[in-house]
Chains A and B, each alone.
Chain A
Amino acid sequence: MNAYSYTLLIPLIPLFVFLLIGLTGHKYKPSISGLIGTAGLLVVTVLSYMTAISYFWTDHIAGTAYTSLKVFEIDWLHLTEFLTINLGILLDPISVMMLVVISTVSFMVHIYSLGYMKGEKGFARFYAFLSLFSFSMLGLVLATNIFQMYIFWELVGVSSYLLIGFYYTKPSAVSASKKAFIVTRFADLGFLIGILMLSFMTNTFDFQTLVSSDSPALSHMGGATFLGLSTLTWALTLVFIGGAGKSAMFPLHIWLPDAMEGPTPVSALIHAATMVVAGVYLVARLFPLYSMVAPDALVIVAWVGGISSLFAAIIACTQYDIKRVLAYSTMSQIGYMMLALGVSGYGGHDGLGFMASNWHLFTHAMFKALLFLGAGAIIHSVHSNDMREMGNLRKYLPITHLTFLIGCLTIAGIPPLSGFFSKDEILAAALHANPALFAIEYLVAGITAFYMFRLYFNVFWGKSTHYHHTPHESPLVMTIPLMVLAFGAVFSGFLPFNELVTSDGLPFEAHINYSVAIPSVLIAAFGILVAYMMYRKESLVPEKIATSLGAFYRGAYHKFYMDELYLFVTHKIIFRYISQPVAWFDRNIVDGTMNLIGYSIEKASYMIKGFQSGRVQQYGYVFVTGAVALVIIFVFIW
């Protein structure tokens, strides 16, 4: 045992809470379940902060590199001579950072849900699932090896499935949950095959071994190639596909907007702040390996990230469902993080992208959770998701309005809010590596500001709408988390990430790159201005612009028909042209053959049955003829 052995409690407490509420939750009042869950998460949060403080500051000797510590490990399953699945806890800068993110957001969501979910049927179930999710997510980030990560990866997927389908009587929620699970499962298949290939080549699952400077993977660099890429590149690309699925990267993003069918706190926790960034975390976790042995895979990462962020940002401008806008925004922001990882190098200032990505992950978790919880508060008071049915809400919801505005400003990258810093570093890293990607991201920064303020103006300003009953500010349990997260969104930009979370563990000199920062602030301001003119002043009429854009607008409004494409593939191709023929083939050809055998035997026996007529003379005739024939055969012919 060592100084960090208490970290074992961090995942175990939520697990215990899950089992406790899951098995006994129906025995007592729902609110008690909520309190148990929240209390559990409080402990987890405290422990996480303790871990972070001691890891980053108190136990750290200044000037040395942050090392990764394997705090705890047990054997879970012996596979081969070399391969063993272990369960353990690994502490290093990114995992400790993720601990803070997850526990903070999760705790806030737990508190928030006490108000938001109050009186809902299945309140206890909700908290059980939340605890299950927290357990899985914490286990994921603390994983010591890639297989443990896969285990928790799947668990996270299931928690997400269960929470999206929380309103199980609502068909749309059910199909959304199904879709989310299957799409991510498809991506996980890539992850699994990637793991298989990696473990086959390196004979290890262990992260520390894999990413060390004498990684066993290095000896395979010159190995066999397939379609022009080395096997290692393929393996790591497949692993990235797993990450892309979880992080809703193009073209595996289609589940994320639908996942908004889940309760809003869930969207805030899982589909904004934590689970969807697991893909980023995965790539970050294996980042040394990527940059050492498969830089080609990183190029793919960067482009996928870039395309996703642009794609999502465009769609976000056309959506009316406020949660969907936020969902596309999430996808877009994760695209930023992926891109930053993709353009990053390893070590020192080259690792700027890596640092920026993690920083953005952190700040994004804060402001996006804030925005989602804010949206939740709005929905809670208006009972609608559609921004066309809202307006002028700033009068009714002052706290929500204020915090939401902070969120919008942060995501738009207005200094000195945290989003500005992290986004700036990403843009700097992109400019350094690939100007084309930089151009995309620069554009996206502007679009982001536009669609966020489109949302903001539509909801909080504009026409005064008639509501069925007057919207009212949410209770304190809901507004306090908003304020806490707003605090985080404002100030997390001042954390010295360049000293804490770097690619090689060593601090490096980072500063605001004014040649990037000033234009990016300008384009953000431009985006806000456009939104202001269109939706506040209405000097530009949105409909006119929409019609002038024509097909492009319609395409974006219909999410570029990605859902339809998937539906086509799944329903038409897989169902109609694979599954149905397989079922038909089985019933008619395979089973038909078997039945044919039975049928022909039956028919044949009906034919033979005539011989067994019971007529003695016929028997006699056959007997005599047979005897004569046999004699002829044996005597004359043989």
Chain B
Amino acid sequence: MNILTLFVLIPVVTMLAIGFSKSMKSIRVVAAIGMGIQLILAAFLVYAYLTERAAGNTAEMLFTYDALWFPSLNIHYSIGVDGISVAMIALTAVVVFAGIFASWEVEYLSKEFFISLILLASGVFGFFISIDLFTMLLFYELAVIPMYLLIGIWGSGPKEYSAMKLTLMLMGGSALLMVGLLGIYFYSAPDGTPLTWNLLEISKNTIPIEMQRFLFPFTFIGFGILGALFPFHTWSPDGHASAPTAVSMLHAGVLMKLGGYGAFRVAIFLMPDAAQEQAWIFLLLTGTSVVYGAFGAIFQKDLKYINAYSSVSHCGLVLFAILMMNQTALNGAVIQMISHGLMTALFFALIGMIYGRTHTRLINEMGGLMKVMPFLSVVYVIAGLASLGLPGLSGFVAEMTIFIGSFQHTDSFHRMLTIIAAASIVITAVYILRVVATLLYGPIRNDHYNHLTDARWFEKLSTVTLLVCIAAIGIAPLWLSDMINFSLAPIVTKLSMATSSFVSIF
């Protein structure tokens, strides 16, 4: 059996096993075992991928498998991975694993909770391994739908409103996406040859420029909504604020990356000419996202809102870098996706743990937590430092790759935008340090907090898993960046062939 299919199969088996489990204890143990196997498998995949590459296999996609499942539209279950997808799969496995432990104590309808959570995860895994556009979209929807239930049932605050808003906005994105993908499908092959959904085959054909102009915005915005593109980001703060811990982790950590990944894999890769032409519009939007999200975060009082706005800023940077369309920036974008995924998952996990103890998320109601829960606080500080780009942690690598890559752009308009985007590192520092100072430092504001306990073993496991990954990328980024670079090379070649009709503003 193809190793990639296992990534979809294991969650399914796990879901079945959970379905047959009786007690809450056995449910979560089964979930943890299933996702643990998934994590090991992901690690093995990285290893297998690197060995294969080292052995000189230069195919664009590895471990491919193809089966026709809907002949009249030529839809295949077509899978394969390159360095980028491998990295994203590894990220997903880590976040899901940490997410299971972060939701260790979900008592209300725990069976349904874990099943939905793992269903979501299987959608994400499926998305990353797909080469067939339709199958990709199918898995995408599979990942989005459980989100509604997860937030609507297990959420907090105005959960129905948030769940509805999130789902509707993402579905709106899917609708745009559907238009874009169908358009791509109908121009996927030269006249006279059968149409195809296969990414690689479509990329060999050039979609007519008029169609590209029309389809690119649909596809890019469709994915961009999931990637929190300004001004379609407002589902994110509300959705994250209401979602239960593990869902926030998965959502911000992984699901939002589907947007970036798709925008890059589908929109830019298949329609480079239109991308070149229209990039400046979206660069302005994403550049705005970066700075705007950061400014927005300064003023928030709710921890989850702060983090959601910070995600808007960081994910904006991902799309920003993708639109720069050179190898270094794209590389940075992928690393940023991974880095942000890990960081934000860690943040949400910590926020969930803190909220579980203090029962408030308003920073000015808390204070001095460092004294009562040193472990969580130290991890929070480290996560914060990662978020503001401290060298040695993953955020720095990602941001610097993006900034340097973007600044290599030959056009001065792009370089000016890069400088503006770079300014976000200062603003990020402001809001991160503000939170750290108010939340963790200072005297304890509420006497009840004196009795709070520090992290339990499963919480430690969850956070340490993420922390180790963050530090590993931050300290030794070379293997990751080289793995991504190798797979970017053919894409960048295709992009550079695109006729640039962009007229500089300056």
Do the two chains belong together in a single complex? yes
Which residues of A approach B to under 8 Å, CB–CB? 75-80, 83, 85, 147, 150-152, 154-155, 158, 161, 165, 168-171, 174-175, 177-178, 181-182, 185-186, 188-189, 192-193, 196-197, 199-200, 574-575, 578-580, 582-583, 586, 590-591, 593-595, 598
Do residues B389 and A181 form an inter-chain contact, with CB atoms below 8 A? no
Query: A196 to chain B: which residues have CB within 8 Å?
Result: 403-404, 407, 415, 418-419, 422
Do residues A168 and B296 form an inter-chain contact, with CB atoms below 8 A? no
Looking at the assembled complex, report how far the CB atom of A73 sits from the nearest CB atom of chain B, in whole angstroms.
13
Do residues A77 and B397 form an inter-chain contact, with CB atoms below 8 A? yes
Do residues A178 and B231 form an inter-chain contact, with CB atoms below 8 A? no
Using an 8 Å CB-CB cutoff, how does the interface string of B265-305 with A read, 1 for contact, 0 for none?
A: 00000000000000000000000000010011011100000
- Complex Cα distance, B407 from A196, in Å, reads 6
B351 contacts the other chain (Cβ, under 8 Å)? no
B472 contacts the other chain (Cβ, under 8 Å)? no
Instruction: Tell me whether chain B's interface is mostly helix, strand or loop, or mixed.
Output: helix
Within 8 A of A (CB), among B133-181: 165, 168-169
Do residues A189 and B422 form an inter-chain contact, with CB atoms below 8 A? yes
Within 8 A of A (CB), among B386-407: 388-392, 396-397, 400-401, 403-405, 407
Do residues B234 and A594 form an inter-chain contact, with CB atoms below 8 A? yes
Looking at the assembled complex, report how far the CB atom of A352 sits from the nearest CB atom of chain B, in whole angstroms.
36
Partner of B408, one of A152, A192, A200: A200
- Complex Cα distance, B299 from A155, in Å, reads 27
Do residues B442 and A168 form an inter-chain contact, with CB atoms below 8 A? yes
Do residues B440 and A168 form an inter-chain contact, with CB atoms below 8 A? yes
Looking at the assembled complex, report how far the CB atom of B451 sits from the nearest CB atom of chain A, in whole angstroms.
18
Query: A590 to chain B: which residues have CB within 8 Å?
Result: 230-231, 233-234
- Complex Cα distance, B396 from A155, in Å, reads 11
Using an 8 Å CB-CB cutoff, how does the interface string of B65-95 with A read, 1 for contact, 0 for none?
A: 0000000000000000000000000000000
- Complex Cα distance, B116 from A11, in Å, reads 49
Given A178-B434, A196-B418, A598-B165, A154 and B404 touching (CB < 8 A)?
Answer: no
Query: A175 to chain B: which residues have CB within 8 Å?
Result: 437
Query: B434 to chain A: which residues have CB within 8 Å?
Result: 178
Query: A199 to chain B: which residues have CB within 8 Å?
Result: 404, 407
- Complex Cα distance, B482 from A181, in Å, reads 32
Do residues A582 and B407 form an inter-chain contact, with CB atoms below 8 A? no
Do residues A168 and B441 form an inter-chain contact, with CB atoms below 8 A? yes
- Complex Cα distance, B443 from A197, in Å, reads 44
Given A168-B441, A171-B442, A154 and B295 touching (CB < 8 A)?
Answer: no
B99 contacts the other chain (Cβ, under 8 Å)? no
B357 contacts the other chain (Cβ, under 8 Å)? no
Do residues A151 and B391 form an inter-chain contact, with CB atoms below 8 A? yes
Of the A-B pairs whose beta carbons lie under 8 Å apart in the complex, a sample of 18, sorted by A's number, is A76-B477, A77-B477, A79-B404, A83-B408, A85-B400, A147-B400, A154-B390, A168-B441, A170-B442, A177-B437, A178-B433, A178-B437, A182-B426, A200-B408, A575-B298, A579-B299, A583-B299, A594-B169
Query: B405 to chain A: which residues have CB within 8 Å?
Result: 79-80
Across the two chains, which residue of chain A brings its CB closest to B480?
A77
Partner of B391, one of A154, A578, A582: A154
Looking at the assembled complex, report how far the CB atom of A70 sits from the nearest CB atom of chain B, in whole angstroms.
19
Query: A181 to chain B: which residues have CB within 8 Å?
Result: 429, 433
Given A151-B391, A199-B404, A582-B299, A77 and B481 touching (CB < 8 A)?
Answer: yes
B468 contacts the other chain (Cβ, under 8 Å)? no
Query: A154 to chain B: which residues have CB within 8 Å?
Result: 389-391, 396
- Complex Cα distance, B418 from A200, in Å, reads 12
Do residues B299 and A580 form an inter-chain contact, with CB atoms below 8 A? yes
Do residues A583 and B391 form an inter-chain contact, with CB atoms below 8 A? no
Which residues of B approach A to under 8 Å, CB–CB? 165, 168-169, 230-235, 237-238, 292, 295-296, 298-300, 309, 327-328, 368, 370-371, 385, 388-392, 396-397, 400-401, 403-405, 407-408, 415, 418-419, 422-423, 425-426, 429-430, 433-434, 437, 440-443, 477-478, 481-482, 485
Do residues A158 and B407 form an inter-chain contact, with CB atoms below 8 A? no
Given A154-B396, A168-B440, A196-B418, A78 and B425 touching (CB < 8 A)?
Answer: no
Given A182-B433, A185-B429, A193-B422, A79 and B443 touching (CB < 8 A)?
Answer: no
Across the two chains, which residue of chain A brings its CB closest to B403?
A196
- Extra A-B contacts (4), CB below 8 Å, given A77-B477, A83-B328: A78-B482, A174-B437, A188-B425, A595-B165
Looking at the assembled complex, report how far the CB atom of B69 sits from the nearest CB atom of chain A, in whole angstroms.
35
Query: A579 to chain B: which residues have CB within 8 Å?
Result: 295-296, 298-299
Query: B403 to chain A: which residues have CB within 8 Å?
Result: 192, 196
Do residues A152 and B299 form an inter-chain contact, with CB atoms below 8 A? no
- Complex Cα distance, B217 from A212, in Å, reads 48
Partner of B327, one of A80, A151, A178, A580: A80
Query: A582 to chain B: which residues have CB within 8 Å?
Result: 292, 295-296, 299
Do residues A174 and B441 form an inter-chain contact, with CB atoms below 8 A? yes
Across the two chains, which residue of chain B brings its CB closest to A153?
B391
Query: A578 to chain B: which residues have CB within 8 Å?
Result: 295
Do residues B485 and A78 form an inter-chain contact, with CB atoms below 8 A? yes
Across the two chains, which residue of chain A brings its CB closest to B291?
A582
Across the two chains, which residue of chain A brings its CB closest to B476?
A76
Across the two chains, which residue of chain B brings its CB closest to A178?
B433
Given A155-B390, A158-B390, A582-B296, A78 and B481 touching (CB < 8 A)?
Answer: yes
Q: Output the residue of B300, B385, B408, B422 with the most chain A CB within 10 A.
A: B408
Looking at the assembled complex, report how far the CB atom of A503 sits from the nearest CB atom of chain B, in whole angstroms.
30
Do residues A78 and B292 form an inter-chain contact, with CB atoms below 8 A? no
- Complex Cα distance, B408 from A200, in Å, reads 6
Looking at the assembled complex, report how far the CB atom of B83 sits from the nearest CB atom of chain A, in whole angstroms.
13
Query: A174 to chain B: which residues have CB within 8 Å?
Result: 437, 441-442
Query: A165 to chain B: which residues have CB within 8 Å?
Result: 437, 441
Do residues B397 and A169 form an inter-chain contact, with CB atoms below 8 A? no
Do residues A80 and B404 form an inter-chain contact, with CB atoms below 8 A? yes
Given A77-B477, A178-B433, A598 and B168 touching (CB < 8 A)?
Answer: yes
Looking at the assembled complex, report how far the CB atom of A475 sits from the nearest CB atom of chain B, in whole angstroms.
29
Do residues B437 and A78 form an inter-chain contact, with CB atoms below 8 A? no
Across the two chains, which residue of chain B brings its CB closest to A161?
B433
Do residues A155 and B408 form an inter-chain contact, with CB atoms below 8 A? no
Across the two chains, which residue of chain B brings its CB closest to A168?
B441
Across the two chains, which residue of chain A brings its CB closest to B444?
A169
- Complex Cα distance, B234 from A77, in Å, reads 35
Q: Output the residue of A83, A147, A200 with the most chain B CB within 10 A.
A: A200
Query: A192 to chain B: which residues have CB within 8 Å?
Result: 403, 422, 425
Given A78-B485, A575-B298, A200 and B478 touching (CB < 8 A)?
Answer: no
- Complex Cα distance, B371 from A492, in Å, reads 45
- Which 8 interchain pairs have the tightest Cβ spacing? A583-B299, A591-B234, A151-B391, A168-B441, A579-B298, A196-B407, A174-B441, A582-B295
Across the two chains, which residue of chain B brings its CB closest to A158?
B390
Do residues A169 and B423 form an inter-chain contact, with CB atoms below 8 A? no
Do residues B299 and A169 form an inter-chain contact, with CB atoms below 8 A? no
- Complex Cα distance, B477 from A149, in Å, reads 17
Query: A168 to chain B: which residues have CB within 8 Å?
Result: 370, 440-442
Query: A177 to chain B: which residues have CB within 8 Å?
Result: 437
Across the two chains, which residue of chain A brings its CB closest to B477?
A77
- Complex Cα distance, B261 from A146, in Å, reads 32
Do residues B234 and A155 form an inter-chain contact, with CB atoms below 8 A? no
Looking at the assembled complex, report how far the CB atom of B382 sits from the nearest CB atom of chain A, in whole angstroms.
10
- Complex Cα distance, B436 from A177, in Å, reads 11
Do residues A185 and B478 form an inter-chain contact, with CB atoms below 8 A? no
- Complex Cα distance, B439 from A168, in Å, reads 11
- Complex Cα distance, B443 from A161, in Å, reads 18
- Complex Cα distance, B50 from A414, in Å, reads 66
- Complex Cα distance, B433 from A598, in Å, reads 36
Q: Output the residue of B238, B298, B327, B368 with the most chain A CB within 10 A.
A: B298
Across the two chains, which residue of chain B brings its CB closest to A147?
B400
Query: A85 to chain B: which residues have CB within 8 Å?
Result: 400
Do residues A583 and B300 form an inter-chain contact, with CB atoms below 8 A? yes
Query: B165 to chain A: which residues have CB within 8 Å?
Result: 594-595, 598
Partner of B231, one of A151, A186, A593: A593
Do residues B231 and A169 form an inter-chain contact, with CB atoms below 8 A? no
Query: A583 to chain B: which residues have CB within 8 Å?
Result: 295-296, 298-300
- Complex Cα distance, B388 from A185, in Å, reads 10
